[in-house]
Amino acid sequence: MNFNKHSNLEGQHAFLGASKYHWINYSEEKVADAYAKFLATQRGTMLHAFAAQCILLGQKLPRSQKTLNMYVNDAIGFKMTPEQILYYSPNCFGTADAISFRNNMLRIHDLKTGEAATHMEQLMVYAALFCLEYHVKPSEIEMELRIYQYDQVLFHNPTVADILPIMDKIVTFDRVINKIREEEG
């Protein structure tokens, strides 16, 4: 038997693929809803890439109360770096949408393009990762975290009491995972 070659599809996954087989139990309405969410995720990825390019190029968007415009313009105004990976270990890292650290002020902004509920904890993890990677004590800096969603901006100024326990958990849980890896390897 000579199987058909589909080299153009290697490494890709179909929406109705075998590895995500749960769709076989969906109704037509549920598959339509799931596909709409899939398209929204793709759109969000494209919007993040667009925003990052605008920030890198210093290309402000028309001033308005639109989520994307406020996010891009604020990131440019604060001279932020878009899509910055923050790394503690292979077990714990993440990509901040926009970040800057200047004059002892850490700013982290997050662009939310979907309908999912937002959680400031995500940005606090980024702040903890920043402090761990760059050996910065959260007690010696100021922090401002922002989430841009629904044409609004949510602000949070975390304290040492917010960030230090997350840093401790990252270090502890990383140690636990590494111990398991050593025992398995």
- The pLDDT of residue 185 is 74
Angstrom distance (rounded) from CA 144 to CA 147: 10
Angle of CA points 19, 20, 25, to nearest 5°: 130
CB atoms within 10 A of CB 101: 16
Is-contact 128 167, C-beta < 8 A?
Answer: yes
- The pLDDT of residue 125 is 98
Quote the longest CA-to-CA distance of the chain: 68
Q: Tens digits of per-residue pLDDT, 115-159? A: 888 899 999 999 999 999 999 999 999 999 999 999 999 999 999
Residue 58, phi then psi, degrees to nearest 5? 70, 25
- Helix orientation angle between 160-184 and 120-133, rounded to the nearest 10 degrees: 70
* pTM, two decimal places: 0.89
* Low-confidence spans in the chain with pLDDT less than 50: none
- The pLDDT of residue 71 is 98
Task: List all residues 6 or more positions away from 129 whose beta carbon is below 8 Å from its beta carbon.
Answer: 86, 87, 88, 92, 93, 94, 170
Determine the 3-state secondary structure of 92 from DSSP: strand
Is-contact 114 46, C-beta < 8 A?
Answer: no
- The pLDDT of residue 180 is 96
- The pLDDT of residue 86 is 97
- The pLDDT of residue 40 is 92
- The pLDDT of residue 13 is 86
Task: List all residues 6 or more positions away from 134 whose beta carbon is below 8 Å from its beta carbon.
Answer: 101
Angstrom distance (rounded) from CA 41 to CA 64: 24
